[in-house]
Amino acid sequence: MSWSDERVELLKKMWGEGQSASQIAKELGGVTRNAVIGKVHRLGLSNRSGSGNGAAASETPAKAKPAAKAKPAAAKAKPAAPKPEAKKPEPKEEPAPSAAASRVKAIIPAGQPLPPQPSANEIDPAALAKVSEIEKKAKRLTLMELTERTCKWPVGDPATDDFWFCGLPVQSGKPYCEAHVGVAFQPMSSRRDRKR
DNA sequence: CCCTGATTCGC
DNA sequence: GCGAATCAGG
Whether residue A105 lies inside any domain: the answer is no
Query: What's the Å distance between residue A189 CA and nucleotide B10 C1'?
Result: 59
Segments in chain A below pLDDT 50: 48-112, 119-120, 196
Whether residue A76 lies inside any domain: the answer is no
Whether residue A155 lies inside any domain: the answer is yes
Q: What is the pLDDT of residues A128-156, one digit of tens each?
A: 878 887 887 787 888 887 888 889 999 98
Whether residue A179 lies inside any domain: the answer is yes
pLDDT of residue A8: 93
Query: What's the Å distance between residue A37 CA and nucleotide C5 C1'?
Result: 14
Q: Is the CB of A23 under 7 A from strand B?
A: yes
Q: Is A130 exposed, middle or buried (0-12, 13-18, 19+ CB in 10 A)?
A: middle
Domain range for A34: 5-43
pLDDT of residue A69: 35
**Helix (H) or strand (E) segment spanning residue A36:** helix A33-42
**Residue A169 one-letter amino acid:** P
Whether residue A96 lies inside any domain: the answer is no
Whether residue A132 lies inside any domain: the answer is yes
pLDDT of residue A35: 95
Domain count, chain A: 2
Whether residue A57 lies inside any domain: the answer is no
Predicted TM-score (pTM) above 0.95: no
pLDDT of residue A117: 53
pLDDT of residue A97: 41
Residues 9-38 of A with CB under 7 A from strand C: 31-32, 34-35, 37-38
Whether residue A51 lies inside any domain: the answer is no
A51: nearest nucleotide, CA–C1' criterion: B6
